[in-house]
Amino acid sequence: MARLNSKEAETILYQRPESMEARPFHFCPGCGHGIVFRLVGEVIDELKIRERAICVASIGCSVNSYEYFKCDGLESAHGRAPAVATAIKRCHPDLVPFTYQGDGDLAAIGTAEIVHACARGENITTIFVNNAIYGMTGGQMAPTTLLDMYSTSTTAGRKSALAGYPIRVCEMLSTLEGTAYIARVTVNSPAAVRKAKQAIKLAFRTQLANLGMSLVEVLSPCPTNWRVEPVKAMDWLAEHMLPQYPLGEYKVIEAVAALKKEVGNA
């Protein structure tokens, strides 16, 4: 993208974050991932950590997350991103590894890895995108799929007798003493997006201040696999996901609360 010089443009209202590549997202129309990636990019810019950030990608729709950032990155096996990030941080305390994981990756196959990264209080950051469905494999039940919700592997709706109950990740992980900051946000409205960015920024700042494990769960729409139109998906999220997954901060240790009060945490 050609840069406008100052004469041509007096005010730039919107541009791609500097830490992001000039490449289109591969996501379906109306998907929330693009918004979340952008928020992470903005935060990396604002905290000036592109040269230290390591994008630890997972498996699912976020499989090639590292393609979108101008920082180093790697692909981890399904669910193992927190273990990979743990090692990177332990070996290089100056780096800023973050995992970007979906619900199948984090809350099903990678449950042990995220729980133990939290239990150890690893000084890493996890962005957890919960869209209540397996996107990449074509819409099967996720660990966070709602009761009675349709998926290609619960065509009559998820029934607890057969398929158990959706997992509330923030609630579960916030009981672990190694976690410093845990919040659930969403991206289904401009206001919600602004709050999501604040949470993501605070999560990274938690890591930069060496305060322990930080995780932000982002409730995100998947119109394709929910089989609703993109705009309606935003409403569907509010109507169905929010009651099951209430927004808010689930863990803010004192030191993080102090960070939050510091000037400049927009």
Partner 1 sequence: MSEKTLMAGNIAIAEGAILAHCQAYFGYPITPQNELLEHMSKRMPEEGRVFVQTESELAAINMVYGAAASGCRAMTTTSSPGFSLQQEGLSYMAGAEIPAVVVNVMRGGPGLGDIGGAQGDYFQAVKGGGHGDYHLITLAPSSVQEMMDFAMLAFELADKYRNPVILLPDGFLGQAIEPVVMRPPVTKLPEKPWAITGARGRPKNIINSFAMDPVDYQPHVALLRQKFQRIKQNEVRYEGINLDDAALVMVAYGSAFRSAMTAMQMARQAGLKVGIFRPITLFPFPVAPLSNLSQKVKSFLVVELSLGQLIEDVRLSLSAEAKVELVNQFGGVPISADEILEAIEKIMK
Instruction: Give the one residue of 115, 208, 209, 238 binding partner 1; rule: CB under 8 A.
Output: 115
Long-range contacts of 156-162 (CB under 8 A, 24+ apart): none
Instruction: Give the one residue of 50, 184, 197, 251 binding partner 1; rule: CB under 8 A.
Output: 50
Closest CA to 130 of 26, 242, 22, 47: 242
Say whether residue 16 binds partner 1 (CB under 8 A): no
Say whether residue 86 binds partner 1 (CB under 8 A): yes
Say whether residue 112 binds partner 1 (CB under 8 A): yes
Say whether residue 175 binds partner 1 (CB under 8 A): no
What are the b/e assignments for 91-102, b being 16+ CB within 10 Å?
Answer: eeeebbbbbbbb
Instruction: Give the one residue of 4, 25, 48, 51 binding partner 1; rule: CB under 8 A.
Output: 51
Q: How many CB atoms lie within 10 A of CB 143?
A: 21
* Least distance from partner 1 to the Cβ atom of residue 88, Å: 5
What single DSSP character describes residue 51? T
Say whether residue 228 binds partner 1 (CB under 8 A): no
Instruction: Give the one residue of 47, 88, 163, 242 binding partner 1; rule: CB under 8 A.
Output: 88
Say whether residue 211 binds partner 1 (CB under 8 A): no
Q: Where are the alpha helices (DSSP H) in the chain?
A: 33-47, 81-91, 103-104, 111-120, 160-163, 169-173, 190-208, 223-226, 230-236, 242-244, 254-261
Q: Is the CB of 83 or the CB of 106 nearer to partner 1?
A: 83
What single DSSP character describes residue 247? -
Say whether residue 54 binds partner 1 (CB under 8 A): yes
Binding site for partner 1 (CB under 8 A): 26, 50-54, 56-57, 63-64, 66-67, 69-77, 80, 83-88, 90-92, 94-95, 97, 112-113, 115-116, 120
